[in-house]
Chain A
């Protein structure tokens, strides 16, 4: 089960090349093989491809409440785009999105990695504690949002009363001050994301042969040194997976912010995700909503291309 994957791709090609079947039989076999993949491809085209294309088309259409009755949405060129880009809120939301994503990823990843390393050591009850720490991840995001909203309440929240008893500033306006709100939302999202990061990074750590550490400690390497020269390089593929998946899910976040602040106060936590929602479902300007949605997809795509390129150069 712990077989290294590096040798595997070579093995994949062999059966296909060595079987000298007649052409028809080979075609039948290819068809059968596609049968494995086809349902997933069709599914993804329907559930992701189609909405994606539709969203792009929609961003060039004049979509009003009337459209729902007539089905007609005339094309209006780049009107939606220029309208969205001229809105001061868009720049604000873009900036908030970047801050939110960077902050969340940094926090989730660092704490997740620290905990993964911590739990990778053997100590009594380690396994139990490790699995219990996953619990926050099991709570639906809408629910987490509600609970945190109460905890962070400025006057009656338990966090402030706790700080108060410690003699610390017990009147922090976590969610009600425009300067604080984004930070608070990031903190909550870090809390939500730690388990996911920890579980995957822990899985990666388990793969690193312990002998490497033993050899390093025999050579007199410090803990920090062996972390840097063994753990990090060996963990690299896992780290990229965590960060890429994390980025894509964080950048488009919506339900957590809706539950915590609804984009407020004074638009201080308005992100591209909430802006899409607001344009489409509050203002009923679906064209503008589609534009913001496309921008979100574009940001992710740029990130994905960068990631793939980095991966490729690394492979060479």
Chain B
């Protein structure tokens, strides 16, 4: 009897060790990115496995050059998330609960959207954007980036909202609440996990966007960090320390967001993936 818990706990710690090993393999490229960033003087061709002393000059240069672009990325991505949720959440609710004619077609339509390559979209959007004065604007890029997350969010939130017990919604309606109020006061709060998860996905899609930033801008007014890094590499100088430092910086905001939203994600997806 006495030995059982200890074997069990030993096995559990064994799992931890295995987990750490898996993690090391998965995160190695990111470590290498950081490591290279900390050795700007070495040039990338003679990088030591571990930085001997913390040389932050790569980071300070990257911050100087890319700090503004990071901020642009942040503003654009947050804007895209807001637009995405504002459009996708009501639609998800409508498609989940109203039994409108054409619901199936629309849901199938969201699937179709996933098939269109980004480059095809960007190509077609440009001229429309010019007519609407959206080229080189924050609003334009936010809208385009929101398109990356909207179909996914609709599908995810719809599956979630389908599973909200009908009685809850009926109860609200008996109380005299209209569709909009029911949605805002009852449905949205109950879908918190799905909302956060969709928001996170939308953020990630927008954050890593490169195609729209490249094609929908003709000036440097709105330049997110992905484009900034791309131009860093494209330039004549192979300043890899700064490039890698900028890369590290480009992962930080998303990482913070992940840590904050972590506990909602699994729950959000759980609800979402069960159709």
Chain A interfacial positions (CB closer than 8 Å to B): 1, 3-5, 8-9, 11-16, 29-30, 32-37, 39-41, 43-44, 46-48, 50-52, 54-55, 115, 118-119, 121-126, 129, 131-144, 146-148, 150-151, 156, 158, 191, 194, 199-200, 202-204, 206-207, 237-238, 241, 244-245, 248-249, 252, 254-255, 273, 276-277, 280, 286, 289-290, 293, 296-297, 300-301, 304, 308
Contact = CB atoms under 8 A, between A and B. Distances in A.
A39 B117 CA distance: 22
A290 B116 CA distance: 11
Contacts of B272: 203
A47 B146 CA distance: 10
The 3 A-B pairs of least Cβ separation, nearest first, read A11-B166, A40-B91, A36-B94
Contacts of B27: 132-133, 135-136
Nearest to A274: B119
Given A13-B99, A36-B91, A156 B16 contact: no
B47 A194 contact: no
Contact of B120 (A52, A129, A140, A249): A52
A140 B124 contact: no
A178 B233 CA distance: 24
B274 A48 contact: no
26 contacts: A4-B163, A12-B96, A12-B162, A36-B183, A37-B94, A37-B100, A39-B90, A40-B87, A44-B109, A47-B143, A48-B113, A48-B151, A51-B116, A52-B116, A118-B18, A129-B19, A131-B259, A138-B251, A140-B209, A142-B226, A150-B32, A156-B45, A254-B117, A297-B116, A297-B117, A301-B115
Contact of A141 (B178, B183, B210, B244): B210
A37 B150 contact: no
Interface string B180-199: 10010000001001000000
B50 interface: no
B119 A123 contact: no
B216 to A, nearest CB: 12
A143 B273 contact: no
Nearest to A131: B262
| Contact-size category for B | 35 or more
A146 B233 contact: yes
A66 to B, nearest CB: 16
B16 A125 contact: yes
B229 A203 contact: no
Nearest to A194: B26
Among B106, B165, B193, B266: residue with most chain A CB under 10 A? B266
B97 A12 contact: yes
A1 B271 contact: yes
A129 B255 CA distance: 14
A150 B250 contact: no
Interface string B140-171: 00011011001110100001001111110110
Contact of A138 (B15, B152, B180, B204): B204
A124 B15 CA distance: 8
A110 to B, nearest CB: 14
Contact of B19 (A34, A126, A150, A273): A126
A191 B267 CA distance: 24
A245 B272 CA distance: 13
Contact of A199 (B93, B152, B250, B265): B265
A138 B248 CA distance: 11
B112 interface: yes
B211 interface: yes
Contacts of B112: 48, 52, 301, 304
Nearest to B35: A158
A33 B100 contact: yes
Contact of A8 (B26, B116, B164, B183): B164
A147 B244 contact: yes
A143 B116 contact: no
A202 B93 CA distance: 25
B51 interface: no
A13 B226 CA distance: 46
Contacts of B111: 244, 304
Contact of A133 (B23, B180, B265): B23
Contact of A254 (B118, B162, B183): B118
A248 to B, nearest CB: 4
